[in-house]
Amino acid sequence: MSTRAGFVALIGEPNAGKSTLTNRMVGAKVSIVTHKVQTTRARIRGVAIEGDAQIVFVDTPGLFRPRRHLDRAMVAAAWGGAADADIIVLLIEAQRGLTGGVEAIIGRLGEVGAGRKVALAVNKIDRVQPEALLGLVAQMNGRFDFAETFLISAEKGHGISDLRKWLARELPEGPWLYPEDQIADLPLKMLAAEMTREKLTLRLHQELPYQLTVETENWQERRDGSVRVDQVIYVMRDGHRGIVLGKRGETIKAVSQAARAELAEFLGRKVHLFLQVKVRPGWMKDAERYAEMGLDFRDGQA
């Protein structure tokens, strides 16, 4: 039996459900999921098996109109992920439909999608009436020649099996790219940092989540089988540091407990997590910080 393997890029506007779909496809949490937009920063790869095929999902940052250096680097990473993929899946929200942002993405798909199959996945179908769905599908396929259209709910799992089976059939023949038991190609240090950043994003409000980053500085395997993880949360201003710490340290304590529990469950062993908060006003202009996130600093230059 011949095997198949390849990369599938999930692209779309922020909050379209790309991270939820990646996690659903992989069967484990490998990407940040929050109600806030633009939380995915790096091109996160999740690995799923479907029959004799290994599907490597590239969960790209949401495509939006960039304002800051970091925004531009994220958008460049998203289009780079699409350009490198074997198959592209454009994910849109059923209730939002054909927005100006989706129109802009379709405008570039003709160039980036040349020579590869592009599928349409309409997400959150449980939130709209069937008649509206049919109209949206017709409208979208009138704008672009999609190879296939799928109606799904990434959160509830509807239509996911059909999408995964189609992707498995369409991938090129070849050997698997990762070991059978590997579900992500993110280093554990980065995955751990993403878990902590997610907990911060869920607890903090307004712009602050976008003005901080988390790095795993130390990962120490201990003799008793547990692991010690030291992380630094970089913020832009001293006032932000106080917000992250919270009154009597309550916020940072809650974040640490939640991140530690999730990482311990993921690893299947005890985790000792230690967090520090440091002020670094210019971290958004620091090439080293971008490298830690898997982004190219040069892509953010105007």
Distance, CA of 268 to CA of 271 (rounded, Å): 9
Report pLDDT for 76: 62
Task: State the architecture of 188-300 in CATH terms.
Answer: 2-Layer Sandwich (3.30)
- Top pLDDT among 188 and 47 is at 47
Distance, CA of 88 to CA of 6 (rounded, Å): 11
Classify domain 4-170 by CATH number.
3.40.50.300
Distance, CA of 43 to CA of 77 (rounded, Å): 7
pLDDT of 31 > 90? The answer is no
Q: Tokens in use for 238? A: 């001293």
pLDDT of 69 > 50? The answer is yes
Give the mean pLDDT of 244-251. 92
Q: What residues does each domain of the chain span?
A: 4-170, 188-300
pLDDT of 122 > 90? The answer is yes
Answer positive or negative: Cα dihedral of 178, 179, 183, 185: negative
pLDDT band at 264 (very low <50, low <70, confident <90, very high): very high
Contacts of 4 (CB under 8 A, 6+ apart): 52, 53, 54, 168, 169, 171, 172, 173, 174
CB 15 within 8 A of CB 62: yes
Residue 123: burial class (beta carbons within 10 Å; 0-12, 13-18, 19+): buried
Q: pLDDT tens across 143-187, in order?
A: 999 999 999 999 999 999 999 999 999 999 999 988 887 777 667
Report pLDDT for 37: 44
Give the mean pLDDT of 185-210. 79
Fold identical between 4-170 and 188-300?
A: no
pLDDT of 268 > 50? The answer is yes
pLDDT band at 296 (very low <50, low <70, confident <90, very high): low
Report pLDDT for 293: 61
Buried/exposed code over 30-60 (b: 16+ C-beta within 10 A; e: otherwise): bbbbbebebbbbbbbbbbbbbeebbbbbbbb
Give the mean pLDDT of 15-21. 86
